[in-house]
Amino acid sequence: MAIMRETKSNIGSILRKVRVRLGYPINEKLFQVCGIQRSGNHALINWIISQQPLKTCFINGVFPDQNPWEQNWGISYRNFDYWPGHRDLAGALVSKQLLICSYENYALDKIDRHRSQLLVDVGKSQEVCSVLILRDPYNTFASWLKAGWDVTAEITEMWKVYAREFIGQTSYLQNQTVTINFNTWFASQEYRRQLAHALNLEFTDRGLDIITHHGGGSSFDKQSLDGNAKQMNVLRRFQAFVDNPVYRKIFQDQEIQELSEKIFGEIEGTKVL
């Protein structure tokens, strides 16, 4: 019986490779998710995956210059009746209804250039979408400092690059692109409903209260509020750092403040910075 299953699997892999050479899609949806660390990337990805029971593969921490099956921060499968990781690593191109490739802290033009090679490595998809996640800088960088990370000039500049792309000043991402305001996603069910529609997913709002293990959970709460994530004070993290000179120095950059207000509006309590 096992031999028959293995033979059937091998034949399926051969047929998929033929389909790839002929230019046919292997997967239904591919989301290239772009975000800066501590921007709620994993919370949002888990919510996306949870909306409907699709056979899903999530590749965490894709490196734009590497084969994602070989170099990543971890791969998980949802709603598969078996774990096809070894077959994907072998290049079998197992079909997925939803394939999510997550990039963190990478230049957007580099992510976009990776798309053509990515489609060779994972197979073409019927739908390809870039998902750009942005959290306000006050809470993003408070979470960085809470995690014990240095907030470098390079990362603050990257936040500005993402923000300019978010408001349409630049267009590095050439795919169909869905932008996600993390603050509004966390606070508004109607916004989440609109996002599900934009991503061509059924809206159920499942997964909102789950804190995933990816990324170590919250910088402040770790995974202590798993199952009750809505209780997390994610929009007020900055309050713990308003008197921190390292933190205050970040916001001497006037453009960061202007971009933040344009995207997130005035955030009460940040004027002291």
Long-range contacts of 139-144 (CB under 8 A, 24+ apart): 139/183, 139/234, 139/235, 139/236, 139/237, 139/238, 140/36, 140/38, 140/39, 141/247, 141/250, 142/237, 142/238, 142/240, 142/241, 142/247, 143/38, 143/218, 143/219, 143/220, 143/237, 144/37, 144/38, 144/219
Q: What is the mean pLDDT of residues 238-248?
A: 94
Number of other CB atoms surrounding residue 200 within 10 Å: 12
Q: What is the mean pLDDT of residues 181-200?
A: 97
Q: Is residue 273 pLDDT above 90, yes or no?
A: no
Give Cα separations from 69 to 3, 62, 213 (angstroms).
Answer: 26, 9, 20
Give this prediction's pTM: 0.86
Supply the pLDDT for residue 224. 37
pLDDT, tens digit, for every residue of 138-190? Answer: 999 999 999 999 999 999 999 999 999 999 999 999 889 999 999 999 999 99
Supply the pLDDT for residue 11. 58
Nearest alpha carbon to residue 103 among 33, 48, 155, 157:
33
The 27-35 sheet, strands edge to edge: 74-78, 56-60, 98-104, 27-35, 125-134, 176-181
pLDDT, tens digit, for every residue of 130-150? Answer: 999 999 999 999 999 999 999
pLDDT more than 70, % of the chain: 84
Q: Is residue 218 pLDDT above 70, yes or no?
A: no
Q: How confident is the model at residue 235 (pLDDT cuts 50, 70, 90)?
A: confident
Supply the pLDDT for residue 13. 58
Nearest alpha carbon to residue 102 among 67, 77, 68, 140:
68
Query: What spatial distance separates the first Cα and last Cα of the chain, rounded to whole Å?
Result: 67
Nearest alpha carbon to residue 127 among 25, 257, 37:
25
Structure letter (DSSP) for residue 58 = E
And the tokens for 96?
A: 């997925």
pLDDT, tens digit, for every residue of 31-80? Answer: 999 999 999 999 999 999 999 999 999 999 999 999 999 999 999 999 99
Structure letter (DSSP) for residue 143 = H
3-state secondary structure of 28: strand
Structure letter (DSSP) for residue 161 = H
Number of other CB atoms surrounding residue 153 within 10 Å: 9
Q: What is the mean pLDDT of residues 82-96?
A: 92
Q: Is residue 212 pLDDT above 90, yes or no?
A: no
And the tokens for 129?
A: 């979408």
Supply the pLDDT for residue 232. 54
Supply the pLDDT for residue 28. 97
Q: How confident is the model at residue 272 (pLDDT cuts 50, 70, 90)?
A: confident
